[in-house]
């Protein structure tokens, strides 16, 4: 379907301050079918530096998908989302809000900021694996997105 798949692994940027969650996501992605490379940023500042290839991220790839937690120190997920969606060079990258919050407020606010979708981390690990598989399948092989070169 998507010609990108055969050529290179998908670049995924995970923005989350909890190492437990980062490892869990890594484990879930390892079981997935989409070949991928997981990059992590532990807060919004790091995420923006990665996306704008600042400092030690000078050679960072452009992610195909961003998994964004909401509650983080320094710069939270909402601020990162707002910056990405206001930046014409970044706004086409799909941003999936991946959080523990089920608050309607958080859901509404992030969609207002043009989040591509909002999912709540399930407590059950099997369900979490299933969910990560659905997310990567959908965003990395099913949907058609404008590529950077175009």
Partner 1 sequence: MKQMSKTSELIAKPEVMAGEIKQSRELFRILFHRSPIGTYIIQNGHFRLVNRQLAYILGYEEDELIGRPSLGFVLAEDRDAVRENAVRMLEGGCSLGYEFRIVTKQAKIKWVMETVAPVHYQRKRATLGSLIDVTERKQVEERLKQITGEMQRSNTELEQFAYVISHDLQEPLRMVSSYTQLLAKRYGNKLDSDADEFIAYAVDGAKRMQTLLHGLLDYSRVGTRGKPFSLVNCEHIVEQAMANLKIAIEESGASVSYDVLPTVMGDEGQLVQLFQNLIGNAIKFRREEPLQVHIWAGRRNSVVTFSVNDNGIGINPQHSQSIFEIFRRLHTREEYPGTGMGLAICKKIVERHGGHISVQSQPGQGSTFHFSVDMAGGESE
Q: Which is closer to partner 1, CB of 61 or CB of 100?
A: 100
Question: By CB under 8 A, how many residues form the interface with partner 1?
Answer: 15
Q: Which is closer to partner 1, CB of 7 or CB of 126?
A: 126
The answer to the question of residue 76 lying near partner 1 (CB under 8 A) is: no
The answer to the question of residue 50 lying near partner 1 (CB under 8 A) is: no
Q: Nearest to residue 100, comparing CAs of 118, 115, 112?
A: 118
Strand partners, 117: 96
Binders of partner 1 among residues 115 to 144 (CB under 8 A) are 121, 123-126, 128
Radius of gyration of the chain from its Cα atoms, rounded to whole angstroms:
14
Q: Which is closer to partner 1, CB of 21 or CB of 46?
A: 21
Q: How far apart are CA 106 and CA 136, in angstroms?
A: 23
Q: Which stretch binds partner 1 (CB under 8 A): 19-27, 37-45, 82-90, 134-142?
A: 19-27
Write out the residues near partner 1 by the rule CB under 8 A. 18, 20-21, 24, 27, 100-101, 103-104, 121, 123-126, 128
């Amino acid at each position: 379907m998507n010609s990108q798949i055969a050529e290179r692994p998908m670049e995924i940027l995970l923005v989350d301050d909890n190492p437990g969650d980062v490892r869990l996501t890594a484990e879930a992605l390892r079981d997935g079918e989409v070949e991928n490379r997981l990059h992590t940023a532990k807060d919004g500042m790091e995420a923006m530096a990665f996306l704008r290839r600042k400092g030690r991220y000078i050679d960072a790839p452009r992610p195909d998908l961003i998994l964004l937690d909401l509650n983080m120190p320094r710069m939270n997920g909402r601020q990162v989302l707002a910056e990405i969606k206001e930046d014409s060079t970044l706004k086409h990258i799909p941003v999936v809000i991946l959080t523990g919050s089920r608050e309607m407020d958080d859901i509404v606010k992030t969609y207002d900021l043009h989040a591509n979708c909002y999912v709540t981390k399930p407590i059950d690990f099997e369900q979490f694996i299933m969910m990560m598989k659905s997310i990567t399948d959908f965003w990395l092989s099913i949907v058609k997105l404008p590529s950077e070169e175009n």
